[in-house]
Amino acid sequence: MEISELGERIYRASHLTGEFVLRSGITATEYFDKYRFEADPVLLDAIAEAMVPLVPAGTEVLAGLEMGGIPVVTALGRHTGLPCAFVRKEAKTYGTCRLAEGAEVAGRQVLIVEDVVTKGGQIVLSTQELRALGAQISEAVCVIDRQLGGAETLAADGIKLIPLLTAADLAA
């Protein structure tokens, strides 16, 4: 499937208009409801397949951020064969008490996987915590970059953002 066709399918499935407060605190009149494309197994599979070429050489673990990054990382792992880590916003206080469940991240080249990036704040926070656990992180991939400063925020923390699509792509 061509990336433009995939973008149209994502747009039709997830684009909403109205007034929405984003995690970053920004109020937006357009919103991409990621759960609408993540809940469609055929569309999610097409997204993951299109993201495979975005995975940098040398990646050893895909790390999906809670909650929206989890379905994306699972589908991407299926297409790449790479193990996945599921990263919580904070470590559990019970059971394993881990921040990252699944694949071990210590000493490994880890790629952050996210669904929609606005300012990049959660990626920065999660990356700092994963680096403290010994993960080597220099890139993050996402399905949609809203182009509201996320790439710049991440770059300031040494993370290159690699989007499948941007807000400009979806507006076209």
- Binding residue positions: 23, 88-89, 92, 114-122, 146
Q: Residues at the annotated binding site for 5-phospho-alpha-D-ribose 1-diphosphate?
A: 23, 88-89, 92, 114-122
Question: What span, in angstroms and rounded, lies between the C-alpha atoms of 84 and 76?
Answer: 9
H/E run at residue 167: helix 167-171
Q: Residues at the annotated binding site for orotate?
A: 118, 146
Question: What span, in angstroms and rounded, lies between the C-alpha atoms of 87 and 66?
Answer: 6
Residue 7 phi/psi, 5° resolution? -60, -40
For helices 41-51 and 3-14, the axis angle rounded to 10 degrees is: 140
Question: What span, in angstroms and rounded, lies between the C-alpha atoms of 46 and 5?
Answer: 11
Beta strands (DSSP E) in 2-135 are 15-21, 27-32, 61-65, 84-87, 100-102, 109-117
Residue among 137, 140, 144 at smallest CA distance from 162: 140
Find the distance separating the first CA and the last CA of the chain, reported in whole Å.
17
